[in-house]
Amino acid sequence: MLKIGITGGIGSGKTTVCRVFEVLGIPVFYADTVAKQIMVQDQILISGIKDTFGEESYSSEGLLNNKHIAGIVFNDTLALEKLNALVHPAVFRAFDQWVAQVPASSPYILKEAALLFESGSYQMCDYSILVTAPLAVRKERVMLRDQVTEEQVQARIDKQFTDEKKLELADFTLENNESTSIIMQVLDLHLQFINRKN
Ligand code: ATP
């Protein structure tokens, strides 16, 4: 099964682009959504988080104490690295399980991850796609979508690799800049992946 990683900076539109692939019948694994789910489901991960960040990381009902964790990792790079070192392997496990149940008739699958390159998970994919958009457009989209300030968006951007760095690692790019048709670009890539599989 051909595995394609897809990423892009915050607000680039990677999730929107993945929805187009889904319309074409391509299964998509949303790593960031799965990461949130397994934080309260994967017992190995839960134990690791409690050991590292304290029992108060979870409520007595087993809910994640986001405020507690965010308070620790927000301005502490080492703590954030520790959290990622726990979460990323758990997401890789979940991805392997998900791949195993994808219909064999699927020509390829996509793994959407905000930190595809930062986490190293692109190395487990056959190819990678980078979704790009101008920084100003990305900021506007996220401010509108999440009702946050420009400074808050910038703080999130600062935690990710720059597009320049990601471009060096990506095999393909999709420009989601509102002037080039994203659907035509997706169709073009879709056909390329189908041909590579055959
Ligand atoms: P994040 O990293 O925060 O998850 P993302 O890269 O997945 O972001 P999306 O959520 O897909 O980005 O898109 C961000 C916002 O921009 C959404 O509200 C989406 O509807 C909008 N958007 C994405 N692409 C376009 C486009 N081509 N034209 C107009 N709006 C768009």
Domain of 180: which CATH number?
3.40.50.300
Using 50, 70 and 90 to split pLDDT, how confident is the model at 159? confident
Q: What is the pTM of this model?
A: 0.92
Tokens (6 digits) for 41: 């489901």
Average pLDDT over residues 123-148: 96
Residue 197 has pLDDT above 80, yes or no: no
Question: Would the CB of 16 count as within 6 Å of ligand 1?
Answer: yes
Q: What is the DSSP letter of 178?
A: S
For the Cβ of 185 lying below 6 angstroms from any atom of ligand 1, the answer is: no
Q: Are residues 182 and 120 in the same domain?
A: yes
Expressed in angstroms and rounded, the spacing between residue 169 Cα and the centre of ligand 1 is 22
Domain of residue 47, residue span: 32-101
Nearest ligand 1 atom to the CA of 17 is: 11
46: Cβ–Cβ under 8 A, 6 or more apart, which residues?
39, 40, 58, 62
Same domain, 17 and 55: no
Q: Hunting for tokens 């989601």 — which residue is that?
A: 176
- Mutate which of 7, 15, 156 to test ligand 1's pocket (most atoms within 8 Å of Cβ)? 15
Q: Are the C-beta atoms of residues 186 and 21 closer than 8 Å to each other?
A: yes
Convert the pLDDT of each residue in 75-122 to its tens digit.
Answer: 899 999 999 999 999 999 999 999 999 999 999 999 999 999 988 899
The predicted model gives 43-53 an average pLDDT of: 96
pLDDT of residue 23: 97
| Domain shared by 140 and 85, yes or no | no
Three-class secondary structure of residue 100 per DSSP? helix
